[in-house]
Amino acid sequence: MNLTYTDIAVNLIGSDLEQNYQSIIDGAAAVGVSQMIIIGSDLTESQHVIDICQQYPNQLYATAGVHPHHASQWQPQSKQQLASLLQHASVVAVGECGLDYNRDFSPRADQRKAFSEQLQLAVETQLPVYMHERDAHQDFYDILKEFRADLSNAVLHCFTGEQAHMERYLELGLHLGITGWVCDERRGQTLAELVKTMPADKIMIETDSPYLLPRSMRPKPKSSKNKPSYLPYIAQYIADLRGEPLEVFANQCQLNTQTFFNI
Ligand SMILES: [Zn+2]
């Protein structure tokens, strides 16, 4: 079966994948993962991501933004700097941005400010917004709700929350990105139940590589480093949970992704 996939979260730059990125890209393409969204986590990294993506038109696409971990770097001039990065043709979304109260690598007030200003940019550019939320549901919801009506498209990547949160996010019309977290027999149980009920037209799939290696893979990969070439495994796992043929699920995800990012 020749299925085509898009991995909506590859941390190709600033991670363990960077050194061998050509083999990572080739390995993914060989199993049908023919498009990837490469995540920019701060302004410098976003520029680097854009430089790489420009070499792979129609294959690699960039996000540009400041991750909540780096929100303390957000300065008065950051919004203008990000606005100019967003003009590059390979940039398909504003982000990764949001709130992470799990790690609290940046002060929460800084996180809220950086998130709000990036949402403003998404409104001004009408680009989709690419978001992250860990243990910050209420603040995240409140801030997002202010902007939602004026945003074009919005995805919460690596959704791992509970049912009530999922319902509120779906009410806001968000897309939800599902990672190999769902394959984790310890902490992925809730998510494994929730993916059965998610609307088919709101799901996108992602590895978030090199993080979150799917724990159920057998034989277990020698390296704990996750790769975009494992995306078809995650797709099969979710399709099985939903009781759908892989082909139906994978094609729906691909359609959702191409429509969402306009790629
Ligand atoms: Zn994230």
Q: How far is CA 53 from CA 36, 46, 59, 89, 235, in A?
A: 10, 10, 8, 10, 24
Mean pLDDT on 108-127: 98
What per-residue confidence (pLDDT) applies to 2? Answer: 85
DSSP result, 166-235: HHHHHHTT-EEEE-GGGG-TTT-HHHHHHTTTS-GGGEEE---BTS---TT-SSPPSS----GGGHHHHH
Span 187-226, pLDDT tens digits: 999 999 999 999 999 999 999 999 999 999 999 999 999 9
For residue 203, give the CATH number of its domain.
3.20.20.140
Whole-number Å distance, alpha carbon 55 to ligand 1 midpoint, is 24
Mean pLDDT on 157-164: 96
pLDDT interval class at 1 (50, 70, 90):
low
Say if residue 162's pLDDT is above 80: yes
Whole-number Å distance, alpha carbon 128 to ligand 1 midpoint, is 16
What per-residue confidence (pLDDT) applies to 40? Answer: 97
The contacts of residue 262 (CB under 8 Å, 6+ apart) are 92, 128
Whole-number Å distance, alpha carbon 10 to ligand 1 midpoint, is 10
Whole-number Å distance, alpha carbon 2 to ligand 1 midpoint, is 29
Percentage of residues of the chain with pLDDT beyond 70: 100
Span 27-81, pLDDT tens digits: 999 999 999 999 999 999 999 999 999 999 999 999 999 999 999 999 999 999 9
Whole-number Å distance, alpha carbon 157 to ligand 1 midpoint, is 6
Whole-number Å distance, alpha carbon 140 to ligand 1 midpoint, is 14
Shortest CA distance to 14 belongs to which of 58, 69, 79?
A: 69
Percentage of residues of the chain with pLDDT beyond 90: 98
Whole-number Å distance, alpha carbon 1 to ligand 1 midpoint, is 31
Whole-number Å distance, alpha carbon 103 to ligand 1 midpoint, is 12
CB-CB neighbours of 147 under 10 Å = 17
If one counts the domains in the chain, the total is 1
Answer whether 71's CB lies under 8 Å from 42's CB.
no
Query: Which residue carries 């099985």 as its tokens?
Result: 240
Range of the domain at 253: 5-261
Mean pLDDT on 154-181: 97
Whole-number Å distance, alpha carbon 56 to ligand 1 midpoint, is 23
Tokens encoding 257: 């992704």
Whole-number Å distance, alpha carbon 196 to ligand 1 midpoint, is 22
What per-residue confidence (pLDDT) applies to 157? Answer: 97
Whole-number Å distance, alpha carbon 132 to ligand 1 midpoint, is 5
Whole-number Å distance, alpha carbon 80 to ligand 1 midpoint, is 23
